[in-house]
Structure 1
Amino acid sequence: MISASLVQFDVQCLAPAENFGRIHDFVALEAAHGAQLILFPELSNTGYVEPLVPGGPMVSDVPHFGAALYEACAAPDGEEIKALVTLAARHRVHLVIGLGLRDQLRAGVMRNASLLIGPEGVLGQYTKVHQWQNEKLYFTKGDRIDTFAALGTHLGMQICYDIRFPEITRILALRGAGIVTSVWASFGAEATPVADGALFIHRAYTRAVENGVFFLSCNRSGSHGGQRFFGRSCALAPDGTVLGALDHDMEDVLRVEIDLEAVTRYRSFTGIWADRDPTLYEKYLSPDRSDSRRSPPEKS
């Protein structure tokens, strides 16, 4: 069994020192509760971008938000990441954490990333491929989908909007993932009631049962610029069983147990991998397939 904690906390905009301080406190607390894997939301160090929605107002009192965001982002080889590695080693835990990261070489270039950190160091990094609305103003998109060996399986990472593209989770599963993590900073207008409180469960359920993976969905809480983050973190087993879910948007921690043997049990029972027909799918998915493969037009 793997004990996992999904930390649904309120990230402060452009306040990395405060946010990292709270992250360290949460790790110590969850490790004391026996956690082996601890998740933190998207952009846990920087807070979300402004304007939060297209055409919305700038909220932070800074001369240039892009420059301020870059300053709040972590350097890949900087002290903040080194401190997280030390923290993971001290508590013998693995962390999956959404972070704004600076480019290793190019000043001003930023990435919306998810890092896998273990006692041995940084084990993997994923850069968000599908960028939501105004994120495109600031972040350079990712171009890799990888999994990383950890906790007796392979772990794959995605971020927020990526979940709407099933190819991401399928590729991670094809590359051996038994656990897929999804970190979020998903929000809606503060004055508008949540239309579907189980939305995150629906999405996680679909990706879990399609691929036979554990799907861990960790969103943030708090309000900013007239928008309220939805919270409602959840964890789903390969057969769609809800291991745990928070039904609110307040700060909280979701603690669940993961039995990796459930991956084998579900996949061998359903046959979802044996029954796939990628050769057939390729006829329709290949972007350069010739017109000769298409059905001829009907005669009038």
Structure 2
Amino acid sequence: MKLAAVQLRATDDRAETIERAGDLLDAAADQGAGIVLLPELFAVPFVQPDPDPEYFRLAESLDGPSNTMAAERSRRAGITVVSSIFEEGEVPGVYYNTACTYVRGELKSVYRKSHLPFSNGFPEKFYFRPGGTEPEVVDTGETGVGTIICYERHFPELSRIVALRGGSVLCVPVASASAPMREVFQLELRAHAVFNGMFVICSNRVGTEGVKEYFGLSAVYGPDGDVLAQAADDRDDIAVAEVDLDRVAATRRSRPFLRDRRPELYGRLTGMGPAAP
């Protein structure tokens, strides 16, 4: 099958941005992609370094215009689409950074970002309530797909959960513009692929938003950490890679990291083991 990362420049015109995103989804589907990932909060500009109460006006419900477009493209093309939105919760004043997975138009998963930064110009704790559940794995009919969101790529426990739950494809929608992070960006994503023996799709924004310059590098990675396809670094684009899903099982046999885990020794990681010295 084929996996695709959509790379997108967001503007203040939500409708126009959603339309361009839809065109990119169509292009990915036309190239045969069965799983397509959109960037983090793809339809609206991302947060700036200084908290701004006016930003909340950009929030939308789960059935708002961003997900409506994603669901329609998923249904029409018979594909899986992972859409990331600034979600307005049902409780007044509660907002989430949310990823929704649609399989042939049907909403299969709602994952809310659980690890939120307040550093390096990303004051996300000001805007979002953290989610309280671990990543799910969605059965697409061909494979299992799990999603973590941007900052969460710095926490290897989350992608390992996706692997342990049977996921073969990890989706990582991001909004990454930090110059220091660019130096380790692909290193981290390749590491997730290698440690878990899975495919990784990462979709980033591109272009200038306020004081931030999003650097793209949207790509698809193989279980050996190889870059299978990468978008252009200066414009809207898609990265589409044909993959052999049997590589996941083969890789996990040749590098049996999941088999050789010793969870009984890891209690310290969750605070449930011996006190740290």
For the criterion TM > 0.5, the same-fold answer is yes
Q: Aligned partners of 1:199, 1:249: CA distance in 2, in Å? A: 19
Q: Kindly provide the amino acid, as one letter, of the partner of residue 287 in structure 1.
A: G
Provide Cα deviations, 1:97-120, integer angstroms capped at 9, x if missing partner: 2211111x2233211111111214
1:261-276 equivalence runs, <5 A: 261-276=246-261
Q: Which residue of 2 aligns with 1:61?
A: none
Q: Aligned partners of 2:40, 2:182: CA distance in 1, in Å? A: 20
- Residues 1:211 and 2:209 aligned together: no
Q: Which residue of 1 aligns with 2:124?
A: 135
- Residues 1:256 and 2:241 aligned together: yes
- Residues 1:170 and 2:187 aligned together: no
Partner SS, residue 38 of structure 1: strand
Q: Kindly provide the amino acid, as one letter, of the partner of residue 269 in structure 1.
A: S
Are residues 173 and 250 of structure 1, via their aligned partners in 2, closer, same or farther at CA, if it must alter by over 3 Å?
A: same
Q: Which residue of 2 aligns with 1:115?
A: 100
Deviation, structure 1 residue 286? 4.9
Deviation, structure 1 residue 16? 2.4
2:169 to 179, 185, 188: 179
Q: Kindly provide the amino acid, as one letter, of the partner of residue 72 in structure 1.
A: L
Partner SS, residue 74 of structure 1: coil
2:43 to 42, 45, 48: 45
- Residues 1:8 and 2:7 aligned together: yes
Identity %: 28
1:48-197 equivalence runs, <5 A: 48-49=46-47, 52-53=48-49, 56=50, 65-66=52-53, 68-78=54-64, 80-103=66-89, 105-133=90-118, 134-145=123-134, 146-188=136-178, 194=179
Q: Aligned partners of 1:159, 1:150: CA distance in 2, in Å? A: 19
Of structures 1 and 2, the larger Rg is shown by 1
Are residues 36 and 288 of structure 1, via their aligned partners in 2, closer, same or farther at CA, if it must alter by over 3 Å?
A: closer
Deviation, structure 1 residue 69? 3.4
Deviation, structure 1 residue 151? 4.3
Partner SS, residue 33 of structure 2: coil
Q: Aligned partners of 1:228, 1:261: CA distance in 2, in Å? A: 38
Deviation, structure 1 residue 202? 0.7
Q: Which residue of 2 aligns with 1:231?
A: 216
May I ask how many residue pairs the two structures share in their alignment?
272
Partner SS, residue 36 of structure 1: strand
Q: Aligned partners of 1:10, 1:280: CA distance in 2, in Å? A: 44
**Structural RMSD (CA):** 2.2
Deviation, structure 1 residue 83? 4.0
Q: Aligned partners of 1:161, 1:11: CA distance in 2, in Å? A: 19
Are residues 27 and 245 of structure 1, via their aligned partners in 2, closer, same or farther at CA, if it must alter by over 3 Å?
A: closer
Alignment check: 8 A CA contact 2:3 2:220 kept: no
Q: Aligned partners of 1:43, 1:203: CA distance in 2, in Å? A: 21
Alignment check: 8 A CA contact 1:186 1:219 kept: yes
| Unpaired segments ≥5 residues, structure 2 | none
Alignment check: 8 A CA contact 2:266 2:273 kept: no
